[in-house]
Chain A
Amino acid sequence: MEMPRPNPQVIARKADLIERLSRVLPADAIISDPAETRAYECDALTAYKCPPLAAILPASTQEVADALRICHDMGVPVVPRGSGTSLAGGALPTEDSVILGVARLNEVLETDYENRFIRVQTGRTNLSVTGAVEEDGFFYAPDPSSQLACAIAGNIAMNSGGAHCLKYGVTINNLMGVTMVLMDGTVTEIGGAHLDAAGYDLLGLICGSEGQLGVVTEATLRILHKPEGARPVLMGFDSNEVAGQCVSDIIKAGVLPVAIEFMDRLCIRACEAFAKAGYPDCEALLIVEVEGSDAEIDEQLETIMEIARRHNPVELRQSTSAEESAKIWLGRKSAFGAMGQINDYMCLDGTIPVSQLPYVLKRIGEMSGEFGLDVANVFHAGDGNMHPLILFDANKPGDLERCEALGAEILKLCVEVGGCLTGEHGVGIEKRDLMTDQYAPEDLSIQMAVKDVFDPKWLLNPAKVFPLASSEAHRIAAE
């Protein structure tokens, strides 16, 4: 992966930088010893690594602002970091960059049930936001599988989603306001406890901007009362195409489940070995979940199971207890980890129109044969967000390259059928160079013009999202 050449002048002034930062941050918030900066050399895309010049861990918006101002004045690139679970290399440092980690910003600032929001510092983990309100019956809806570890900061930067976003939406649909510090240290407040922030929808723009527009330190999030109950049903089919057709039919029928998840045989076996969820051994499995009271659940599932029956399922079984449901979801949410235990894999994240599911699954199967690499599929079928996992052997020379080539072909297929390169993991460095397959040069140039406005010096996470060749003119103009 090509990265911009580190700026030797910045590296040469490291001592000066650390000295200046130490005037605004406590000593234990600055990490500059090369033995310790290694801890920040990568995120969950571990194929790429590079220790940063330094890492800082500010504990307040003011400290973030002070530190950013110093980096801005000295021309030092800054890579914001939440929990480092990005699968796209979004938090990958460069040699001349400072990692700004928000892990110490983890307070709950305000909980308001009457107005249904919670205000938190963004280093707080996704699951602990729900943790702060669940005793009172509330929850924060977006539920990425990494929710135990990932931070709200990263969720906002990547506009993360989860299995239940078919009903509740992704991060942006649940984000009401942010405090964001611009690269020059300016603190901005956008939105708040009211709906639809004034002026242009900057919230919509910031969410998903991968840490390139500002450092988000606080967030106002919508919370909801938990549903009375939820129940998944397992549907096994003997072909991927039939399962894909069933998904489309369910959606068309007018009952909208909270989640429709898909797994193919490779994944089913790995997840079953891991979670003992009682998944059937078949070609394709759907987990469909609905919510409500028991009677409401029965009513919805009746319609949904009737549709499934028309597709001759090899298995059709409702969960009969809370424990069984928890196991069914544990299996699904551990899919990446479970696959990782049996093989090296690369996880893709394209989205396609749901109507194209059967065709795309068929093509992926053919391409897998052509490249000689197995592909396991596990994904959010209800909204067409696919996660093909390409299995390879990291120790076998040439396998990673072949795997990356197949990955690129699959993502191009997603674009070809009317979809996109990434549904929830973000572009980062991983899909950066494919952006020209989805967008024309002028479509990218208007996006980069947005970065020019927020970060005129192109210091915030500059090597991500845009192909280096496309962003070169902007980066040079910024110097």
Chain B
Amino acid sequence: MLKPESEADLAALVAGADAPLHVQGGGTRPIGGPTNGTPLTTSALTGIELYEPGALTLVARAGTPLAEIEKALAAEGQRLAFEPMDHRGLLGTTGEPTIGGVIAANVSGPRRIQAGAARDFLLGVRFVDGAGRVLRNGGRVMKNVTGYDLVKLMAGSYGTLGILTEVSLKVLPDTATVATLSIDGLDDGQAVKALSRALGSPFEVTGAAHWPHAAQGSGRTLIRIEGSEASVAYRAGELQAALAGFGEVAFSHDTAANRTLWQDVRDVAPFHAQPGDVWRLSVKPSDAPGIVAQLSGAQALYDWGGGLVWLRVPEGTAPDKIRQPVDAAGGHATLIRGNRSAGVFHPLPAPVAALQEGLRQKFDPRGLFNPGLMGQAA
């Protein structure tokens, strides 16, 4: 395992490389097609370089453990609002998730529906490109339209365009109270309707999930509200009234228990000890139940008001079986757990695939970084 100790060492290593590299942070998120390069980790590039709570910004080296960042933020009553998922439980991996890995995979949690994705909180990057150059884009300010936004391009590129060495993030205040409203017994279609009603209200829902098999085999629909105690109580009351037509709406304001519950939603906990392949679908919320209904033998967990579907299917289920209904409706499906040689990411329309391949050739002309991982020719 190559483990450069500094950005300069990393740049020199890449400049001198003559064979592919398999780039990783903590290695806890083995997502993407198989790639055959020499393993390289950024885990020695650590440290929070700047944290200004009054400016809501934090700058850290890419290999900094996520836990270290979350601890520093918690000490100031702040957080990463996009609440990155921890993949270890679902994928059975061990090790220390890094902030670079979170960004490279654009990992977001339930709050994505309200606050935005990881990429929406990324203000700036430094990275090493395929020629071994250290490049910079964006900065550490909240609004920046100076030149092209390569910051977002790097987020979700899974290390195939460059190796991140530093990221600047926008952070937000944490909230005092976390409450959950829940309705039992809804089928998937009704559940998504209830979640849409909540998300289409002015009451700032920050989580909207549905677990079809949570309550003794029937569904449980979950809605999260956060804020000051008084504000949460008020909004809970309003939402209970708005959702009354869907059934009895239970209210819990046990903040600690609710934090755990939403961590489970975030980490897809119900699938942890269960066998089978796991797919992740991004679709228009109202399309989700219909897509799931077409897949016999699939078990689903809904997040993002239905827009994010986690699907557990029998091991070895043909990718086309999942992709076909998703294609018909619009959206994309990614294989998160299972045999990764059959294609992990959703095939792109030809003109978009051509742009993607064109970019890759500019950023990494020698094809050094994670060849094959995002489906491009090895």
Interface centre among A195, A254, A449 (most CB of B within 10 A): A195
User: How far, in angstroms, from A439 to B201 measured CA to CA in the complex?
Assistant: 43
| Chain A residues with CB below 8 A from B54, complex form | 248-249, 251-252, 354-355
Q: In chain B, residues 341-378, which have Cβ atoms closer than 8 Å to a Cβ of chain A?
A: 345-346, 348-349, 351-353, 355-356, 358-359, 362-363, 374
Q: Which of A18-26, A31-39, A196-204 contacts B (4 or more CB under 8 A)?
A: A196-204
Tell me, yes or no, whether B282 is within 8 Å of chain A by CB.
yes
Tell me what chain A mostly uses at the interface: helix, strand, loop, or mixed.
Answer: loop
The answer on a CB contact under 8 Å between B149 and A182 is no
The answer on a CB contact under 8 Å between B117 and A169 is no
User: How far, in angstroms, from A353 to B304 measured CA to CA in the complex?
Assistant: 32
| Chain A residues with CB below 8 A from B173, complex form | 254-256
Chain A residue nearest to B170 in the complex (CB): A383
Given the known interface contacts A254-B173, A420-B141, the answer about A205 and B149 at a Cβ–Cβ threshold of 8 Å is yes
Q: Which of A74-82, A277-285, A290-298 contacts B (4 or more CB under 8 A)?
A: A290-298
Q: Give the Cβ gap from B117 to chain A, nearest Cβ, in Å.
A: 6
Given the known interface contacts A201-B106, A225-B200, the answer about A384 and B142 at a Cβ–Cβ threshold of 8 Å is yes
| Chain A residues with CB below 8 A from B243, complex form | none
The answer on a CB contact under 8 Å between A296 and B77 is no
The answer on a CB contact under 8 Å between A254 and B174 is yes
Chain B residue nearest to A117 in the complex (CB): B284
- Fill in one digit per residue for A254-281: 1 if any B CB lies within 8 Å of its CB, else 0: 1110000000000000000000000000
The answer on a CB contact under 8 Å between B230 and A299 is yes
The answer on a CB contact under 8 Å between B196 and A114 is yes
Contact of B150 among A249, A425, A450 (CB under 8 A): A450
| Chain A residues with CB below 8 A from B137, complex form | 443, 446-447
- Fill in one digit per residue for B322-342: 1 if any A CB lies within 8 Å of its CB, else 0: 000000001110000000000
Tell me, yes or no, whether A438 is within 8 Å of chain B by CB.
yes
| Chain A residues with CB below 8 A from B149, complex form | 159, 172, 204-205, 207-209
User: How far, in angstroms, from A339 to B307 measured CA to CA in the complex?
Assistant: 46
Chain B residue nearest to A113 in the complex (CB): B200
The answer on a CB contact under 8 Å between B52 and A194 is no
Q: In chain B, residues 282-327, which have Cβ atoms closer than 8 Å to a Cβ of chain A?
A: 282-286, 304, 307-308
- Fill in one digit per residue for B30-61: 1 if any A CB lies within 8 Å of its CB, else 0: 00000000000000000000001111110000
The answer on a CB contact under 8 Å between A200 and B157 is yes
Q: Which of A54-62, A185-193, A397-405 contacts B (4 or more CB under 8 A)?
A: A185-193
User: How far, in angstroms, from A453 to B172 measured CA to CA in the complex?
Assistant: 36
Tell me, yes or no, whether B152 is within 8 Å of chain A by CB.
yes
The answer on a CB contact under 8 Å between B193 and A172 is no
Given the known interface contacts A201-B155, A249-B54, the answer about A420 and B172 at a Cβ–Cβ threshold of 8 Å is no
Contact of A195 among B141, B286, B307 (CB under 8 A): B307
The answer on a CB contact under 8 Å between A115 and B284 is yes
Q: Give the Cβ gap from B11 to chain A, nearest Cβ, in Å.
A: 11
| Chain B residues with CB below 8 A from A334, complex form | none
Chain B residue nearest to A385 in the complex (CB): B143
- Fill in one digit per residue for B100-143: 1 if any A CB lies within 8 Å of its CB, else 0: 00000010100011001101100000000100010111011111
Q: In chain A, residues 353-367, which have Cβ atoms closer than 8 Å to a Cβ of chain B?
A: 353-355
The answer on a CB contact under 8 Å between B148 and A447 is yes
Tell me, yes or no, whether A418 is within 8 Å of chain B by CB.
yes
* Interface size, B (range): 35 or more
Q: Give the Cβ gap from A325 to chain B, nearest Cβ, in Å.
A: 17
Tell me, yes or no, whether B190 is within 8 Å of chain A by CB.
no
Contact of A205 among B56, B150, B332 (CB under 8 A): B150
Contact of A384 among B55, B152, B234 (CB under 8 A): B55
Tell me, yes or no, whether B20 is within 8 Å of chain A by CB.
no
| Chain A residues with CB below 8 A from B117, complex form | 195-196
User: How far, in angstroms, from A116 to B346 measured CA to CA in the complex?
Assistant: 24
Q: In chain B, residues 48-85, which have Cβ atoms closer than 8 Å to a Cβ of chain A?
A: 52-57, 77-78
The answer on a CB contact under 8 Å between B202 and A199 is no
Q: Give the Cβ gap from A444 to chain B, nearest Cβ, in Å.
A: 7
Chain A residue nearest to B157 in the complex (CB): A200
Contact of B143 among A199, A351, A442, A451 (CB under 8 A): A351
B-binding residues in A (CB < 8 A): 113-116, 137-138, 158-159, 161, 165, 169-170, 172-173, 182, 186-190, 192-205, 207-209, 225-228, 248-249, 251-252, 254-256, 292-293, 295-296, 299, 351-355, 380, 383-385, 418-427, 431, 435, 438-440, 442-444, 446-447, 449-454, 465-466
